[in-house]
A and B are shown apart, each in its own frame.
Chain A
Amino acid sequence: MKLPRLRRKASDPRRGRVAVPLTAAQSGWLGATILAAQLPGALHVPMWIALLGCALVALRLWLTARDRARPGLAAARIPSWALVIFAVAIATLLRASYGYLLGRDPSVAFLFVLVGIKFLESRTTRDGTLLVCLAAFLAITPFLFGQSPASAIAMLPALLLLGATLAALAARTPRAVAAAAPRRAVAQTGAMLLQGLPIALLLFVLFPRIAGPLWGMPQSSRATTGLSDTMSPGMIAELTQEDTVALRADFAGVPPPPSQLYWRGPVMSRFDGRTWSASFVRPDGSLTEPRDVGIDYTVTLEPNDRPWLFALELPAAMPEFSADEASIDVVVSRDRQLVARRSVGQVMRYRQRSLLSDRHPALARDAAENLRLPPDANPRTLSLAVQLRGQHAADREYVDAVLAHFRDGPFVYTLAPGVIHARDPVDGFLFETQRGFCEHYASAFAVLLRAAGIPARVVTGYQGGEFNRRGNYLIVRQSDAHAWVEAIVDGQWRRFDPTGAVSPLRIESGISRALSGALELPLFARLDAGFLKDAQLLFDAINHSWRRNVVGFDASRQREVWRSLRLDPALPGQAVGAIAIAGAAWMGVVLGWLAWRRGRRERVAAMWLDVCARLARAGLPREGHEGPLDYTARASRRWPDYAIAFHAIGEAYARLRYASVPSRERDALLAMLKRAVEVLPAPAALRGGG
Chain B
Amino acid sequence: MAVAARGLPAPQGLLARWRERVFRSAPADAGEVVLRHSRIYILPTRRGLALIGTVATMILTSLNYGLSLGFLVAFLLAGLCAAALLHTFRNLAGLRVRPGSAGETFAGGSIPFTLQLRGDGRERCGIAVEPRDGPATFLDVDAEGTASAQVEVAAPRRGSVPLGRVTLSSDYPLGLWRGWSYVHFPVAGLAYPAPEAGAPPLPAPQGAADESGSLRHDDGELAGLRTYQHGDPLQRVAWKTVARGGGWYTKAFESGGGDGGEVVLDFAALPASLDTERRLERLCAWVLACERAARPCALVLPQRRVPAGVGREHRRVALTALALHGVS
Contacts and interface: CB of A to CB of B under 8 A. Distances in A.
B60 A193 contact: no
Contacts of A550: 68-69, 72
A251 B23 CA distance: 65
Contacts of A179: 125, 172-173
B178 interface: yes
A584 B174 CA distance: 21
A155 B69 contact: yes
Query: Chain B's interface: helix, strand, loop or mixed, by majority?
Result: helix
B70 A173 contact: no
Contact of B75 (A130, A189, A199): A199
A605 interface: yes
Interface string A159-197: 100110011011111111001000000001100110111
A39 to B, nearest CB: 15
A209 B25 CA distance: 46
B62 interface: yes
A662 B136 CA distance: 37
A167 B53 CA distance: 19
Interface stretch (A211-219, A309-317, A390-398, A492-500): A211-219
B138 A173 contact: yes
A198 B47 contact: no
A198 B79 contact: yes
Contacts, number: 209
Contact of A16 (B46, B62, B140, B144): B46
Interface stretch (B81-89, B199-207, B244-252, B295-303): B81-89
Interface string A536-579: 00000000000000111110000000000000000000000000
A173 B67 contact: no
Contacts of B66: 213, 218, 346-347, 554
B175 A170 contact: yes
A13 interface: yes
B171 interface: yes
Interface string A345-387: 0110000000000000000000000000000000000000000
B238 to A, nearest CB: 32
Interface string B148-181: 0000000000000000010000011111101000
B25 A4 contact: yes
Contact of A175 (B74, B140, B144): B140
B140 A193 contact: no
Contacts of A203: 71, 75, 78-79
A176 B140 contact: yes
B125 A204 contact: no
Given A130-B50, A143-B67, A137 B125 contact: no
Contacts of B89: 591
Interface stretch (A53-61, A275-283, A407-415, A594-602): A594-602
A322 interface: no
Nearest to B93: A591
A173 B139 contact: yes
A172 B128 CA distance: 9
Chain B: interface size category: 35 or more
A346 B90 CA distance: 44
B288 interface: no
A136 interface: yes
Given A2-B25, A140-B62, A175 B45 contact: no
B321 to A, nearest CB: 28
Contacts of A70: none
Interface stretch (A144-152, A284-292, A471-479): A144-152
B193 to A, nearest CB: 24
A11 interface: yes
A152 B75 CA distance: 13
A193 B77 CA distance: 8
A493 B57 CA distance: 53
A166 B176 contact: yes
Interface in A600-642: 601-602, 605, 609
B80 A196 contact: yes
25 contacts: A2-B25, A4-B19, A132-B51, A133-B54, A137-B54, A143-B69, A159-B77, A167-B173, A167-B175, A170-B172, A170-B174, A173-B127, A175-B125, A176-B126, A192-B87, A192-B173, A196-B78, A197-B76, A199-B82, A204-B71, A204-B75, A209-B63, A213-B63, A218-B64, A554-B66
Interface of B: 8, 19, 23-26, 45-47, 50-51, 53-55, 57-84, 86-87, 89-90, 121-123, 125-128, 132, 135-136, 138-140, 143-144, 165, 171-176, 178
Given A4-B24, A203-B71, 16 more contacts: A1-B26, A4-B19, A129-B46, A129-B50, A136-B54, A140-B61, A140-B62, A163-B80, A176-B126, A193-B76, A200-B76, A213-B66, A552-B68, A554-B66, A591-B89, A598-B122
The 5 tightest CB contacts between A and B, nearest first, are: A196-B79, A170-B175, A200-B79, A4-B23, A175-B140
